[in-house]
Amino acid sequence: MKTTALLFPAFAMRYREFDRASVPGFPEEAALYLKRAARLVEIDVQKFESPAEFTLADELRDDLQAHYVTYIDCCAIGSLLRRRGMPCHYVSGYSMGLFAALHHSGAVSFEDGLRLAHATCIAAHEGLQDGTYGMAVVVGLTPEEVRGLIAERELRAEVADICAPRVVISSGRREDLGRLLEAAEEAGSLQARFLPVTAPFHSSFLSSVEGPIRECLDQIEIRDPTCGIVSCVSQRLLLAAGEVREEAARNVWRPMRWFATMNRLLDLGVRVFVECGPSENLCNMARNIERDFRIYHPRKFDRLFASVG
């Protein structure tokens, strides 16, 4: 089997008409992780059964449940792959997909990864008491052009991720992001829209949450990972517990560079990627990379399993 990396999506990457039962063994694996999670946090069964369709009225509670569902599903898929003999040389988590990546690498237990996801979501919401925030994506403009629009109009917004050479995600005040989207359309963007997120992740607006997250990290055991973890922030290869701790503490507010992360993995020799979540966002973003590799989504696990025998 070629060098393989497992990719773990973020909670905001919404599911689209995905049935867990379509992947043999997935419902049973997810049920085991759901049972473990329910011992620590309150799980809304409706949110777990219909994450794409069911939305809770309370914003914080809905975000927490979305975190739980995604984390459970990602860990379950990773476990299923391990049971089927799928090798894993590297892992990387998009945004807070980091926690599932840490669990799969053996750096944290499932329970401690869930505690981290919970603490991070709470801290992000509590750290924003003075306005309405969000995230938005601009397709068709370069990062330099988006930064130019932000600077020119003095917008309270920052580039949060570069998904591709012309796919840029920004975080900031919602009203300022609205002005950025208008400016981007005037500048000729192919698409400019808000993302279904109410916090400015991966921006300095959330720098204050690092303290509470470190307090949570002090309460859990972090081990050296059993495979390489590639940071979606710095693209560094994380191999020691101390490096993992720093990544988890700062991940939520430091800007991501997913396009660079994928290329870093390719430079490390990865030729097979697996998106370990029902979302297809990471597979879709991979289409922007013109290099030799294959990427699989759970919908295509029959082909993946056939390749490993």
- Regarding the domain delimited by 4-128+203-308, which CATH topology (the fold level of the hierarchy) does it fall under? Malonyl-Coenzyme A Acyl Carrier Protein; domain 2 (3.40.366)
Please compute the mean of the pLDDT values over residues 20-27 and round it to a whole number: 88
| Amino acid at residue number 260 | A
For the chain, what's the residue count? 309
Neighbours of 224 (CB within 10 A): 14
Q: How confident is the model at residue 273 (pLDDT cuts 50, 70, 90)?
A: very high
What's domain 133-194's architecture?
2-Layer Sandwich (3.30)
Query: Could you tell me the sign of the dihedral formed by the alpha carbons of 256, 120, 93, 109, in that order?
Result: positive
Integer Cα distance of 16 and 287 in angstroms: 18
Question: pTM for this structure?
Answer: 0.94
List, in order, residues 6 or more apart from 188 with CB less than 8 Å away: 140, 141
Q: Per-residue pLDDT tens for 131-181? A: 899 999 999 999 999 999 999 999 999 999 999 999 999 999 999 999 999
Asked if the model's pLDDT at residue 15 lies above 60, the reply is no
Task: Give the residue extent of every domain in the chain.
Answer: 4-128+203-308, 133-194
Buried b (16+ CB within 10 A) or exposed e, 135-153: bbbbebbebebbbebbeee
C-alpha dihedral, 41 to 47 to 49 to 51, nearest 10°: -120
- Residue-level pLDDT at 12: 60
Give me the chain's average pLDDT, please: 92
pLDDT of 14 reads 58
**Res 52 pLDDT > 90:** no
DSSP string, 254-274: SPP-HHHHHHHHHHTT--EEE
Residue 63 has pLDDT above 90, yes or no: no
Average confidence (pLDDT) over 84-113: 96
* pLDDT at residue 189, rounded to an integer: 97
Cα dihedral 22, 78, 277, 109 in deg (nearest 10): 130
